[in-house]
Each structure stands twice: as structure tokens, then as C-alpha cells.
Amino acid sequence: MKSRYSRTKLVLGFFGLLLLLATAFPWRIWVNLQNDLRILEGEKHYVNIASPLSVHVKGDQEGVLSLNGSPVSSEASKLSLRSPISFSGQGLGSVNLEFRLFGVIPLRQLTVNVLPEQKLIPGGHSIGIKLHSDGVLVVGHHLVNGENGSTSPANEAGIEKGDVILAIDGTKLEDANQVAEIIARRGTAGNPFQFTIKRDGQKVEKEVNAVLCRETGRPRIGLYVRDSAAGVGTLTFYCPQTKRYGALGHVITDVDTNQPIEVKDGRIVNANIVDIKQARRGYPGEKTGIFQESKDIAGNITKNNTFGIFGSFTSLNNPSGVEHQPLPMALMSQVETGPAEILTVVEGQDIERFDIEIQRVYTQSRPGDKGMVIRITDERLLDATGGIVQGMSGSPIIQNGRLVGAVTHVFVNDPTRGYGIFIEWMVMESGILDEIGENV
């Protein structure tokens, strides 16, 4: 009887401990904390866990980081969570932290990178973007009027809108014209065409039989394809030492399929803004620009992803307007709600400063292109554009003398407001931080 009573007390005590942990420890905040935290040397970063409990922490490197004023070492030390945790960069490098509750229960691991202050030149330049895809993008189907009626052979074979055709019969495709050339060369005789396509990141093989079109007398497969895209955007930043740049702050997608364009090659050129269609509720508005092939702006495009387009300049001459002085890059933890400004062009090539307000800052546990909510407050810009318009994406956001982010999206129902991306994510994608890491 006594033994059963002891077991009951033990079980109740165990469940009582679980209840204490569930109620006293803010698991959601702890789990959502970034896996990779970046701070600048000599700067502090605060994380408010707000718990009466304590944890034990140890690291694999010394002399890099201190927590609440105590240097991190390989020996576990107790860390109170009653007040915000202060991460302080003591020296350049990286340290892997291990946190344990009561010194026993593993909670999580966290990598903290201490970086030197990086200065970049903010952009604001209007750029013309010319992008060529890797392979040929399927943007639609059409019917071919053959001997047995109207059909789309490619559609029947299972080739879908948004697929990327990489090769036909083993011949790698370099542009959209090759599709018609290869089909015309062999005609409808012989075996089916072997299409190598990419869908959702996976390669798939499809067999397609061409049909002789009664109107044209040519073999057709019933596909609309495209191999390039063009548009106007805004340069966000560039590094004069490495010649690397970042722009747009969001991915370029195909206008028909809404699929991201995989880059084979591309380039940016100067764009002269000649007209602006004002934004209004339900209509985002648009900048209209004329591409100008010149030495003022010339560069390649090597990457197109969630965070924008990236590449290197071959030449860049700053147009008139604001002064282009290097500014320190802000990390996510340094961005705050309140006044800020953006750099952008509303006419010609002149870059101007306009007032905005950062209304909300999201603490992101992983990189994303919607890190803050911004609102245009400058009456001059509102009069000229009505708010955020297409072509303004990538306009750099400056706050407290730091480059903090870029404009990315507009709220369609309120074009005076939109999203911005943290500059930290864009710089990380540009490869500049990798070069810094190699020198640490």
C-alpha cells in the first residue's frame, strides 16, 4: 500500500513538473528564436524570454560572445531568464551555443555569428532588368487543327503550364525558337519526341507526338513557350569593393504562370522613368521606364530568388540626386518602428529621398521578404505616385543613418502601405557576408 502511494506521488510530481514547464516557460518564443543569429562586433542584441526559470549554457568557442556580461565558455554556466538575455559580440567569429533546462534537459542549439560592421552604398537607381531562363518555360497550350480534329499533343502528353523544358531528344534548349526548329526538322515521322522537363525541382521525361497542322502545313505540338522576361525595378545596394549588388527584394516570376524564373543569364541596364500610373485602391500603379544601353549602369544577373536579384556590376556611374555615401548595414535587431526614408526615382534618373514610417517590425526566425510594414508619409511622393507602385520594389529603406531594408510589396487595398525586407537577408544572399566570413 505504501509502495503504491509512493508511486502515485511520483507520477503526480512528474505531471506537476510538466505543468510547471508548460506554464512557466514561453516555448513559442524560444522555438521561434533564430537558429543562426548575427550580431555586430561591439553591439548588443536582446532576447526577452520572460520566464522565472533558468537555463545552463555553454559554447564551443571562447572570446567571441558574452551573455549578460559573462563570457561564453565550454564550461556550462547558469543563465537567468527573468530579464532579457543580452548577447554581446566580443570578437569576430562564430560560436555554437547549447542550452539545457536545469542543466539536464536539452532545449535547443543556437549559432551566433559576430560580424564586423559592413558599409554599403544605398541605391535608389531605376534599372531595366533583362532575364533569360534556364530552359524554356511553358506558359500555355493551344489547339492544333490536324487530320483527326483539334488537339494539343503536349497537353495530352502531360506537359503542364509552369513546366520548364530543358531538352528535346537530348538537345539542350538555349532559347524558345529551338522548340519549333527541332520539331520542324524531324516532322511527324518516326518516334515520339522525348521531352526532358523540370517540375517542382524534379526532372521528368515526357513523350510527345507532333501533329501536322492543316492551316500551316507544319508539325505542331500545341504549346506557348517563353525564354525571357523584362521589367523595371530599383537597385537596393552595392558594394564598391566587390562590385556586387542586390535589387528588387523579391523574386521575379513569369507573368502568365506566376512561377519563379530560373536564371540562365541576365543583365541590368539604366532605365529612364518617363511616366507613372498612379496607385489607387485595388490598383497598385506602375512606373514606366525606357531601357538605355549605356555605361551608366551595366551588370549581370546571377541569382533570382525570394530576396531579389543579385549579380555584379561591370560599370556604375551615379546619376544626379542624393549623395551616395556608404552607410552601415543594420541587422534585423536594429530595425525599429518609427520614421525612416526611402530612395527612389519618380522622373528621369534623379534619385530622391522620401519620408516613410515603419509601422511594424516582425521578428523572423528564418529569412523572408516580408519583415516590416511601411507607410508612405511624404506628400510629394503620394502626389506623384499615390503610394507604392510597381517598379519601386527594391527602393532602399534608411533609418537612423543605417541601411535597414528595401520596399518589396504593396497592399492592394491601401497602396500607401506595404511590406519591406530586412537588408540583412539581401546582403546574405549577395555573397558579401560569405566574403566577410572568409576574412574573419
Q: Using CB atoms within 10 Å of the CB of residue 236, give its burial: 0 to 12 exposed, 13 to 18 middle, 19+ buried.
A: buried
Among residues 358, 371, 376, 359, the alpha carbon closest in space to that of 426 is found at 371
CA distance 94 to 102: 25
CA distance 340 to 375: 10
Residue 250 is among the residues annotated as catalytic for this protein: yes
- Count the neighbouring beta carbons within 10 Å of the beta carbon of residue 234: 27
Which of the residues 250, 254, 333, 430 is marked catalytic? 250
Residue 350 is among the residues annotated as catalytic for this protein: no
Can you state the angle between helices 432-439 and 423-430, rounded to 10 degrees? 70
CA distance 257 to 276: 26
Residue 77 is among the residues annotated as catalytic for this protein: no
Which of the residues 393, 395, 409, 430 is marked catalytic? 393
- DSSP summary character for residue 24: H
Could you tell me which residues are beta bridge partners of residue 75?
none
In the chain, what is the straight-line distance between the N-terminal and C-terminal CA atoms, in Å? Answer: 66
For residues 346 and 333, the answer to whether their CB atoms sit within 8 Å is no
Active site amino acids? 250, 378, 393
